[in-house]
Structure 1
Amino acid sequence: MANHKSALKRIRNSETKRLRNRYQHKTARNAVKKLKELTSKKEAEKMFPEVVSMIDRLAKKNIIHANKASNLKSQLSRHVAAL
């Protein structure tokens, strides 16, 4: 167990951040899944910028790697273009 005040605060902060990161990551994954399941090009084109924005935010905060974000965006844009 932590003995210093700063270590206790660090534990609280890291748990809060972990939960926030987990929530954002899960939300983005669900959005990606939903976009991949769409068959209407119009809906997909409308949803695409929102999902890309989510992915960019995750990469910016180092929740996912920048290359993974790039791969996901590329994959999604190909999917939307193919509809």
Structure 2
Amino acid sequence: MANHKSALKRIRSNEAKRLRNRYQHKTTRTFIKRLREATDKTEAQKLLGEVLGMVDKLAKNNIIHNNKAANLKSSLTKRVNAL
């Protein structure tokens, strides 16, 4: 158990951040899945812009690695352009 007031606060803030990161990551994965299942090109292009922003935000906040974000963006863009 923590012995300092600051350690207790750190535990609380870490848990809040963990839950926020988990929610954002899961939401992004759901949108990526939705984009991959899309068949209409105009709908997919609209969704692509939203998903790319979400992926960038995850990478900026170190929830996912920058290279993973770049790979995801590249593969999703290729998929949409191929529709």
TM-score, normalised with respect to structure 2 = 0.99
Q: One-letter code of the match for 2:3? A: N
Distance 2:46 2:63 in 1: 25
Which residue of structure 2 aligns with residue 5 of structure 1? 5
User: 2: distance between equivalents of 1:12 and 1:42?
Assistant: 43
C-alpha distance in structure 2 between counterparts of 1:34 and 1:47, whole Å: 9
Per-residue Cα deviation, 1:14-60 (whole angstroms, up to 9, x for no partner): 00000000000000000000000000001001111100000000000
Aligned ranges for residues 4-83 of structure 1 at < 5 Å? 4-83=4-83
Give 1:66's aligned amino acid.
N
Q: In 1, Cα distance between the equivalents of 2:46 and 2:18?
A: 30
Name structure 2 gaps, 5 residues minimum.
none
- Which amino acid in 1 is paired with 2:56? D
Between Structure 1 and Structure 2, how many residues are aligned? 83
User: Where has structure 1 moved over 4 Å in runs of 4 or more?
Assistant: none
| Residue ranges of structure 1 left out of the alignment (5+ in a row) | none
CA distance in 2, matches of 1:68, 1:46: 22
